[in-house]
């Protein structure tokens, strides 16, 4: 211990006796700290409106407006007005879309938003029944800055919110105008419901007559059966009329076969499946769009997590399309079958395109594949819409043809029967079959009567509901609200649900949130610079000729630790007093920075003590690994696997976690646990330095000799 203290006193005398040494020590204490302060200040509030408002995004409103049901609107103008009042982004309004796009291409703007000419027309397409999704054109310059596209993403969010609000306001305006027209025309909603209830009561009375008529028809079938039984005893059979009836039955059987072919249930199943396919394709539509703008990390994440799911989904949809094509071909729906076959081929192209993507592709290689996938997906969506319309058309046409043919056959049947008055005797062989038909007819009439009774009960219930609604004041209040306060209704419809947000461990600004990373980084840089500028070797002098290894080690380490504590006090004081970061536990923050500096000094000192020049290189490598993979800037979960593996062994992690406790608030024993792990790193470093000094000495001497021979390296 005596020799250790002697070395420390000697080092302090040497430093205080040299102006250059004092300036060097002051530089070691101040320069790394400036690195922390300036980086924290530069990241103080990069995502607040004061900062993002300086990022220029062009807006070109080319919307020509639209008219529907007597209402003229221009949604583009409303969006432009809303964006002009939005200070989150530096909006620049251009007169033409060409200037806006060229500004993005040249780098004058970070992004551009173009509202096309038919935007309002598409917004109001729901009024005409021809639904068309309105589309905005968004251009982005990703070369200009790596982070700027993430910030301009706020622009897209803001525009979407304004478009939704404008759409809801327009819809509310339609409803309000309809209410005003109804009121001006003297239409009372409550009276209208009462009249409707009366009409349904009349319908219920008519249904009573229908039920009585059906019961009479059932009695008539009984009488007809008795008549057939009596007639069978007197009427003989004739060969010619039998042949005519046989042909008639054959024609009827063919018509029934054709009606069966128009199996609407199976076509309805096909319609449901094509609707499911359309929903999946519309959900997938955002995938290629996001992939075109995705970073390499997001692109690779998609390949690992979601690509196989979508390939499987596309293959499943392809199999369904193949089954429908086969079924429809068998049922002689040739045109519809060909549409399903084309859809199957397009889904196969999408699946193949997804499988072609791999992690080794750069953006230029994967871009054409992703665009082809996007085109195929749009084509598939169009095919689903065409198929859906065609299915409904085929159902209607098929049933209409079957009914027309049935009418023709019945007409022929009547003619045949009218000419058979002289051949009544030939009916005797068919009376049994007619009796069975009459029995089935009676059963069908009974089912019809039951259905009419159920319909009558439902009509009565609906009449009661409407009558009660007509006397409810809520209906009148809603009508008055729509007529008098459409803005309130529009605001409610645009935001029907509010979300209560509760933040745990709130941090008031981004700079304070980044302070742990930059402070810890500055401390490691300070320790590394100290190892570069201050030698670890102790020269022999009087009284110190026979130093033991541990005395030499801890003797010079004392100077390192004093410099480390000075660095910690300077950087923590600057963070708290100059930068003024948020800190709920300032004393613990200062204590932690001192402990962190001591640990970092001991680690770098041990590396240089044991490995000399190799140790300096190792200190730089460890610094680089921790900057990239310690979770200071990005969550460790999004980093490559090598960093997630090394993460538990990085001193930065525990120093930053403890500093976050001081800044955001204490949770349990996290602070002291992190300090304990940091001190464990210090103990390990001491053991490493003392254990590897002698085994590595020959290698260190050889490297030093080689450097000296080069005559250009220190």
Indicate if the pLDDT at residue 691 is higher than 90.
Answer: yes
Instruction: Find the range with the poorest average confidence among 255-264, 481-490, 704-713.
Output: 255-264
SS3 for 650?
coil
The whole-number average pLDDT for the span 479-490 is 55
Instruction: Find the range with the poorest average confidence among 61-70, 472-481, 549-558.
Output: 472-481
How far CA 394 is from CA of 162, 263, 277, 332, 384, in Å, comes to 42, 11, 20, 11, 15
Indicate if the pLDDT at residue 507 is higher than 80.
Answer: yes
Calpha distance 160→166 (Å, rounded): 10
pLDDT of residue 68: 67
Of 118 and 651, more confident:
651
Of 147 and 514, more confident:
514
Helical (H) or strand (E) element with 191: helix 189-234
pLDDT of residue 83: 82
User: Tell me: the pLDDT tens digits for 322-367?
Assistant: 888 888 788 777 877 888 888 888 888 888 888 888 888 888 888 8
pLDDT of residue 393: 72
The whole-number average pLDDT for the span 384-400 is 70
Indicate if the pLDDT at residue 599 is higher than 50.
Answer: yes
Cα distance between the two ends of the chain = 33
pLDDT of residue 602: 96
Calpha distance 86→80 (Å, rounded): 10
Instruction: Find the range with the poorest average confidence among 103-112, 300-309, 478-487.
Output: 478-487
pLDDT category of residue 683 using cuts at 50, 70 and 90: very high
- Residue 209: exposed, middle, or buried by beta-carbon count in 10 A (0-12, 13-18, 19+)? exposed
Whole-model pTM?
Answer: 0.56
Of 236 and 204, more confident:
204
Of 308 and 572, more confident:
572
Indicate if the pLDDT at residue 384 is higher than 70.
Answer: yes
Tokens of 527: 């320790």
pLDDT of residue 74: 84
pLDDT of residue 704: 76
pLDDT of residue 179: 54
* Nearest Cα residue to 377 out of 457, 310, 471: 310
Of 659 and 131, more confident:
659
pLDDT of residue 583: 95
Which range among 235-244, 461-470, 599-608, 638-647 has the greatest average pLDDT? 599-608
From 1.20.140.10, 3.30.9.10, 3.40.1710.10, 3.90.1150.220, which CATH number describes the 50-174+485-494 domain? 3.40.1710.10
What pairing do the DSSP bridges indicate for beta strands 111-115 and 56-61? Answer: parallel
Indicate if the pLDDT at residue 413 is higher than 80.
Answer: no
pLDDT of residue 653: 94
Calpha distance 597→588 (Å, rounded): 14
* Nearest Cα residue to 569 out of 547, 585, 592, 545: 592
Calpha distance 9→609 (Å, rounded): 20
Instruction: Find the range with the poorest average confidence among 86-90, 117-121, 193-197, 282-286.
Output: 193-197
Of 454 and 471, more confident:
454
Of 50 and 21, more confident:
21
Of 70 and 63, more confident:
63
The whole-number average pLDDT for the span 130-151 is 79
User: Tell me: the pLDDT tens digits for 260-302?
Assistant: 444 556 666 777 778 888 888 888 888 888 888 888 787 878 8
pLDDT category of residue 651 using cuts at 50, 70 and 90: very high
Written in H, E and C, the secondary structure of 620-631 is HHHHHHHHHHCC
pLDDT category of residue 253 using cuts at 50, 70 and 90: very low
The whole-number average pLDDT for the span 145-150 is 75
Written in H, E and C, the secondary structure of 203-266 is HHHHHHHHHHHHHHHHHHHHHHHHHHHHHHHHCCCCHHHHHHHHHHHHHHHHHHHHHHHCCHHH
pLDDT of residue 593: 97
Residues 6+ apart with CB under 8 A from 90: 52, 53, 54, 55, 56, 57
The whole-number average pLDDT for the span 120-138 is 75
Tokens of 608: 């240089």
The whole-number average pLDDT for the span 433-446 is 59
Share of the chain above pLDDT 90, in %: 23
pLDDT of residue 674: 97
pLDDT category of residue 380 using cuts at 50, 70 and 90: confident
The whole-number average pLDDT for the span 458-479 is 54
Share of the chain above pLDDT 70, in %: 66
pLDDT category of residue 565 using cuts at 50, 70 and 90: very high
Calpha distance 372→27 (Å, rounded): 58
237: alpha, beta or left, given left = phi > 0 and alpha = psi -120 to 50? beta
Calpha distance 369→362 (Å, rounded): 12
Calpha distance 642→625 (Å, rounded): 10
Instruction: Find the range with the poorest average confidence among 75-84, 143-152, 254-263.
Output: 254-263
Instruction: Find the range with the poorest average confidence among 187-201, 304-318, 355-369, 625-639.
Output: 187-201
Helical (H) or strand (E) element with 115: strand 111-115
pLDDT of residue 686: 95
What pairing do the DSSP bridges indicate for beta strands 71-73 and 90-94? Answer: unpaired
Instruction: Find the range with the poorest average confidence among 6-15, 232-241, 509-518.
Output: 232-241
Calpha distance 83→91 (Å, rounded): 7
pLDDT of residue 488: 60
Indicate if the pLDDT at residue 473 is higher than 90.
Answer: no
The whole-number average pLDDT for the span 451-463 is 59
Indicate if the pLDDT at residue 435 is higher than 90.
Answer: no
Indicate if the pLDDT at residue 120 is higher than 90.
Answer: no
């Amino acid at each position: 211990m005596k020799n250790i203290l002697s070395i420390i006193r000697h080092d302090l005398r040497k430093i205080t006796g040299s102006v250059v040494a004092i300036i060097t020590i002051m530089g070691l204490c101040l320069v790394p700290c400036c690195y922390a302060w300036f980086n924290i200040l530069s990241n103080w509030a990069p995502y607040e409106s004061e900062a993002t408002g300086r990022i220029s995004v062009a807006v070109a409103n080319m919307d020509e407006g639209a008219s529907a049901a007597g209402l003229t609107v221009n949604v583009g103008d409303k969006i432009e007005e809303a964006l002009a009042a939005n200070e989150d982004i530096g909006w620049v309004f251009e007169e033409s879309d060409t200037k806006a796009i060229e500004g993005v291409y040249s780098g004058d703007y970070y992004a551009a938003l173009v509202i096309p000419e038919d935007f309002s027309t598409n917004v109001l397409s729901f009024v005409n029944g021809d639904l068309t999704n309105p589309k905005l054109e968004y251009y982005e310059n990703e070369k200009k800055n790596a982070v700027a596209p993430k910030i301009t993403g706020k622009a897209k969010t803001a525009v979407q919110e304004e478009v939704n609000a404008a759409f809801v306001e327009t819809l509310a305006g339609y409803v309000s105008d309809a209410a005003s027209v109804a009121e001006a025309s003297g239409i009372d909603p409550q009276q209208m419901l009462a009249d409707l209830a009366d009409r349904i009561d009349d319908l219920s009375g008519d249904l009573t007559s229908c039920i009585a008529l059906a019961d009479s028809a059932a009695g008539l079938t009984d009488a007809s059966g008795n008549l057939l039984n009596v007639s069978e005893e007197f009427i003989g059979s004739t060969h010619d009329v039998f042949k005519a009836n046989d042909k008639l039955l054959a024609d009827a059987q063919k018509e029934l076969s054709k009606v069966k072919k128009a199996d609407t249930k199976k076509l309805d199943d096909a319609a449901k499946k094509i609707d499911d396919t359309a929903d999946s394709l519309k959900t997938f539509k955002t995938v290629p769009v996001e992939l075109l703008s995705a970073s390499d990390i997001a692109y690779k994440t998609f390949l690992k997590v979601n690509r196989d799911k979508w390939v499987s989904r596309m293959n499943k949809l392809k199999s369904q399309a193949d089954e429908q094509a086969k079924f429809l071909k068998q049922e002689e729906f040739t045109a519809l079958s060909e549409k399903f076959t084309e859809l199957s081929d397009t889904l196969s192209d999408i699946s193949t395109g997804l499988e072609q993507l791999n992690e080794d592709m750069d953006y230029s290689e994967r871009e054409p594949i992703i665009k082809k996938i996007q085109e195929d997906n749009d084509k598939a969506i169009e095919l689903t819409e065409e198929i859906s319309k065609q299915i409904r058309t085929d159902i209607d046409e098929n049933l209409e043809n079957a009914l027309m043919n049935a009418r023709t056959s019945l007409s022929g049947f009547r003619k045949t029967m009218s000419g058979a008055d002289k051949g009544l005797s030939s009916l005797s062989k068919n009376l049994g079959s007619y009796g069975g038909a009459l029995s089935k007819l009676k059963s069908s009439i009974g089912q019809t009567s039951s259905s009419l009774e159920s319909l009558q009960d439902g009509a009565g219930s609906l009449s009661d509901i409407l009558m009660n609604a007509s006397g409810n004041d809520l209906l009148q209040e809603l009508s008055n609200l729509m007529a008098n306060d459409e803005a309130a209704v529009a605001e409610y419809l645009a935001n029907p649900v509010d979300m209560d947000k509760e933040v745990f461990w709130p941090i008031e600004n981004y700079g304070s949130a980044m302070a742990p990373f930059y402070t810890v980084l500055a401390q490691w840089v300070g320790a590394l610079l100290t190892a570069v500028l201050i030698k670890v070797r102790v020269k022999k002098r009087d009284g110190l000729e026979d130093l033991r290894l541990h005395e030499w080690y801890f003797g010079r380490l004392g100077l390192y630790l004093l410099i480390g504590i000075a660095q910690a006090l300077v950087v923590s004081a600057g963070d708290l007093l100059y930068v003024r970061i948020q800190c709920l536990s300032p004393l613990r923050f200062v204590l932690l920075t001192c402990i962190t500096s001591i640990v970092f000094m001991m680690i770098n000192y041990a590396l240089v003590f044991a490995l000399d020049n190799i140790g300096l290189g190792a200190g730089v490598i460890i610094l680089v690994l921790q900057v990239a993979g310690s979770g200071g800037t990005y969550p460790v979960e999004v980093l490559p696997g090598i960093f997630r593996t090394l993460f538990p062994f990085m001193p930065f992690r525990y120093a930053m976690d403890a500093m976050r406790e001081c800044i955001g608030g204490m949770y349990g024993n996290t602070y002291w646990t992190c300090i304990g792990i940091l001190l464990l790193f210090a103990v390990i470093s001491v053991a490493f330095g003392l254990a590897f000094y002698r085994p590595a000495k020959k290698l260190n001497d050889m490297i030093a000799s080689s450097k000296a021979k080069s005559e250009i390296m220190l």
